[in-house]
Structure 1
Amino acid sequence: MSFTEHAWNIFNKSVEDYHLHDNVDFPINNPFENGSLEHLLYTKNWIDTVQWHLEDIIRDENIDPVEALQLKRTIDASNQKRTDLVEYIDSYFFQKYQNITPKSDAKINTETVAWAIDRFSILVLKVYHMNQEATRESATEEHRAKCTEKLNVLLEQKKDLSQAIDQLLLDIENGDVKMKVYKQMKMYNDESLNPILYQKSNS
């Protein structure tokens, strides 16, 4: 089984587990061993899944403004957790391949392994929810047909992204791609970097 096949199965399990309760406040119950890559991948997708539904909730045009503000804060915190975990997954792979010496002509990929995995995790959610719409009995036949077309595109994207990620890992293992990790350095949550926050604290 390829890495992406394994990751896709873990991501799907996370999505299915979430929808047993379909509640953004329901606590995660990660079934994988703490410290394992599987544990990281499950946690990553759980964060993505919860945030997906938070984004749905906040778009309710009748939502109470105070509740919307609180949800925005929750989404911001979720985004920070997502970024931190992506960097943690990158650190996992960086450590895994630390003894590999890249070739003199090794290339650098436009994104790290973990940020590609991040897109893969979101893609699982897109496929899951588009499939729901493509098969929703209360929807019109036209709606279901359009969603089926979109689902087919997403499944083609899954095939392409799977191939790209597996090839990237192989290229790193063979020394054809040099793995470098850059911290994202998010500024908006940092009181020392966001001028709105540090001006407020100094006033």
Structure 2
Amino acid sequence: MSASFTEKCWEIFNRSIADYHVHDNVDQPMNNPHEEGTIEATLYHKNWIDTVQWHFEDIIRDPQIDPVSALALKRRIDASNQDRTDMVEEIDTWFREKYADVEVADDAKINTESPAWAIDRFSILALKIYHMREEVERTDVSPEHHAKVSAKLAVLEEQHTDLSTAIEELLEDFAAGKKYMKVYRQMKMYNDPALNPVLYKQSK
């Protein structure tokens, strides 16, 4: 029996996370093991972006961080967010092409969330589980801390089951024509010099 789409995602996401943590350095290059142009390569790249940004967010919360370094890091986080959005749109385009020939039922409904944005949450969930498991495995914490993080890990594991089930059911509905999808390009105005008033007023 072949793996489901979410099982494949989970394997790829966890491979990406493990690869990152070999060196655990936000500046290390990505070495994508999948063939360029495949959905597997896109999923790996998507999670790599998420993993690096996860650690950006840790670093910028250091109370001793130099303000100049913090501003430079904020710029990198902004760029990473844009890359993440672009990658989600690329995954949604793949889904749209995959289901392009499906005959949509007359009473088909549109989902509140596109498949790729659900996959985005799935990628972040993989990171949450990885890092919460690290907390569970710590030996330098109190029993209270260990009990608290163990309970949180159990909830995350349950969420993994629920979210993977929901994604699979959504994909089944697309394949059966019970639901249809649209790809809405994200319109992040603050990144666009023509739409951010702080930026375009400076150019006048």
Give me the whole-angstrom Cα distance separating, in 1, the residues matched to 2:194 and 2:173. 39
**2:60 maps to which residue?**
58
Give me the whole-angstrom Cα distance separating, in 2, the residues matched to 1:73 and 1:182. 25
Query: Which deviates more from structure 2 when the two are superposed, residues 136-145 or residues 29-38?
Result: 136-145
Query: Which deviates more from structure 2 when the two are superposed, residues 175-184 or residues 43-52?
Result: 175-184
User: Aligned-pair RMSD on alpha carbons?
Assistant: 0.6
Secondary structure of the structure 2 residue equivalent to 1:201: coil
Give me the whole-angstrom Cα distance separating, in 2, the residues matched to 1:162 and 1:135. 25
Secondary structure of the structure 1 residue equivalent to 2:109: coil
**1:34 maps to which residue?**
36
Give me the whole-angstrom Cα distance separating, in 1, the residues matched to 2:95 and 2:203. 38
Match of 1:108 among 95, 107, 110: 110
Amino acid at match of 1:10: I
TM-score by length of 1: 0.98
Give me the whole-angstrom Cα distance separating, in 2, the residues matched to 1:140 and 1:199. 54
Secondary structure of the structure 2 residue equivalent to 1:89: helix
Secondary structure of the structure 2 residue equivalent to 1:154: helix
Match of 1:45 among 35, 40, 47: 47
Identity of aligned residues (%): 63
Offset of 1:142 from its aligned partner?
1.1
Give me the whole-angstrom Cα distance separating, in 2, the residues matched to 1:201 and 1:26. 35
Question: Structure 2: which 5+ runs fail to align?
Answer: none
Match of 2:177 among 175, 178, 185: 175
Offset of 1:139 from its aligned partner?
1.5
Offset of 1:116 from its aligned partner?
0.3
Offset of 1:179 from its aligned partner?
1.2
Give me the whole-angstrom Cα distance separating, in 2, the residues matched to 1:107 and 1:39. 30
Give me the whole-angstrom Cα distance separating, in 2, the residues matched to 1:114 and 1:146. 32
**2:71 maps to which residue?**
69
Give me the whole-angstrom Cα distance separating, in 1, the residues matched to 2:159 and 2:100. 30
Match of 1:119 among 118, 121, 141: 121
1:152-188 CA-to-partner distances (Å, cap 9, x unmatched) read: 0000000000000011111000000011111111111
Query: Which deviates more from structure 2 when the two are superposed, residues 91-100 or residues 69-78?
Result: 91-100
How many residues were matched structurally?
A: 202
**1:194 maps to which residue?**
196
Amino acid at match of 1:135: E
